[in-house]
Structure 1
């Protein structure tokens, strides 16, 4: 990995990232973002397939030396959040902003497209660049891109997330499970409505739903091994129209996060059982809509060791073991198909107002992190190719 050549591309990373930040697009709606990326790749003379799994793009750069096929992935969708930053690159689209760093991921991968397209003489094998739509919303874009051939012939895959919870200059990952699976559920409790002064003539759906909220808190505390991380969260409860009317229907919605498939299935079964039995205990009926989302993201242990070996040689980065975290990532689908590693690249810096958590209205990154991310991805790809030469 040639740090000087990458560093020379840093100004264009910043320019492209800020343009994307001004013009964010929501999941499954990344039409203009995709078109812009395709235009840049065409200018670089890179073979590109568009509209893969939606607005996804797959770009292939073949080196002049024999070798394997290494895939690098960036997501490119934004979030339905109003940008509250005061800066010249704030979102121009009301209610939509890049509040998770995907604009930086895309700008990083575009810099690598330029880096590799101008260095084919020294490049072993093939670099496949995957620009993915819709990471933020299930079912996500990774699965559909895989179904349409994005990973065909790929030997290994790497991805990064610019991450403000850790400081710029630090990178982190972990062997095995790193990020949780994510499932969603909606429970409709059907009772029998009536007058608030005559409760004995009704079946109170709000009362039954409230009891169910408390029962669901026992799933993790009493059904899951205490050494096996898991979360069941009730995010909303909606029922009733007035203070003197007993509601005939009440809806709960929530999310489940864990790391083991056995635990995932156990929690799903317990939620079904508790919903039905608790509602029946109050004379009501429960209908459950349970949606399985992204699986747990599981890094290949050998590729994690590669990360720990190469990261300290990239712009002087400090490599750390990351704890498991409960946010989810559909990069997990790629890792179910081929070996690889997902890595966090520190993007937090109080001196540059990069202090807000992901999905916050004032979220921003230290843009130096993009250069670190590009260097890390290039170093991982080069180390893999050299090992298999």
Structure 2
């Protein structure tokens, strides 16, 4: 049956492109994906597959119960976009100013919708139950996954698999690994409270910019001098806001950034050391500070047996040229929340567009759409491999 399913996926590839390009033109940012969620719900309504809307927010879950007994497996696609202006010169360019699908979630959604249409044709022959999990708000913490988990709608699921179209990896590659695959992602905001004054008389002030600059520099010493060199972490200050004009010393500076880690113990060390660094510098400069540290997504921890099933699925797909056991990635994903409660695995499907070398979250981002049917075959392949192993 798997061969027939693959053939049907290929037959519906034009529809997959059509859906993806439509969604690309009408993106919606995290927690505001109302029209996209309705589009997904309408698709399942037309297919005659039972679904639920507003799961954990804007999530949509459809359930296809096969004609034969078996396990219940969720296949997940996210569908939110980013607050980025689309700068590509293509017919399917975003029509929503300042918003674009710059991470491939439109492709994830098109992949899963068409896969659902394919599997509806084979429902009577299907073992077990497929849960088509369409998740909102992957890009913005607290994310949609944690609220979907909290809704209880996945309580009866036996396993979960997810795919990310990876625009920096060659078409035909499948990449994943057992254990920690993607980093935990936290956010911090540091406010330096100094004392402003005239630019000509710095001795009468507590310069928040100078203090903030020292904080930025010394935070990097946490990585180089407080973390075991055989472990890894990232501290990035992505925003530094201070001052009003050229001749006024700022009395306040705000630093906003992210911490990435693979080991929860490293997260604990970074949090502790960050407080010490900021506190020490401010004491030395007779300034005050506020530090707000927010824990975000935990690391993506792939389960061993389910990761083996992903690699097994690769063997059934001629378009997969390389199945690669990769090093952990410092990017984050709230798919981690599903893996904290259910067995499963997350993988990358190579989607690099030839001659188009732009990374995720870039205004020129795009994918090779031929990756979508490969992703669909991988997801259903993992589903069948799980059924075979566990029935």
TM-score normalised over the length of structure 2: 0.97
Matching of residues 106-117 of structure 1 within 5 Å = 106-117=109-120
3-state SS, counterpart of residue 293 of structure 1: strand
**Of 192, 197, 201, the match for 1:198:** 201
The residue number in structure 2 matching 1:220 is: 223
- State how far apart, in whole Å, the 2-side matches of 1:386 and 1:253 are: 48
Q: Does 1:251 pair with 2:235?
A: no
3-state SS, counterpart of residue 236 of structure 1: strand
3-state SS, counterpart of residue 280 of structure 2: helix
The residue number in structure 1 matching 2:329 is: 325
Alpha-carbon offset, residue 354 of structure 1? 4.1
3-state SS, counterpart of residue 44 of structure 2: helix
The range that moved more, 177-186 or 306-315, is 306-315
List, as ranges, runs of 4+ consecutive aligned residues in structure 1 with deviation greater than 4 Å. none
Alpha-carbon offset, residue 209 of structure 1? 1.3
3-state SS, counterpart of residue 206 of structure 2: coil
**Conserved 8 A contact 1:181-1:258:** yes
**Of 361, 379, 382, the match for 2:381:** 379
Write out per-residue CA displacement over residues 87-108 of structure 1, whole angstroms, 9 at most, x where no aligned residue.
1111111111111100000000
Write out per-residue CA displacement over residues 296-330 of structure 1, whole angstroms, 9 at most, x where no aligned residue.
11100111111222212113412111221111000
Alpha-carbon offset, residue 295 of structure 1? 0.5
3-state SS, counterpart of residue 160 of structure 1: strand
- State how far apart, in whole Å, the 2-side matches of 1:310 and 1:130 are: 20
The residue number in structure 2 matching 1:19 is: 22
**Of 106, 115, 139, the match for 1:136:** 139
- State how far apart, in whole Å, the 2-side matches of 1:39 and 1:244 are: 58
Alignment gaps of 5+ in structure 2: none
Alignment gaps of 5+ in structure 1: none
Q: CA RMSD in A?
A: 1.1
**Conserved 8 A contact 1:194-1:246:** yes
The residue number in structure 1 matching 2:301 is: 298
Number of equivalent positions: 387
The residue number in structure 1 matching 2:276 is: 273
- State how far apart, in whole Å, the 2-side matches of 1:236 and 1:90 are: 28
Q: Does 1:126 pair with 2:129?
A: yes
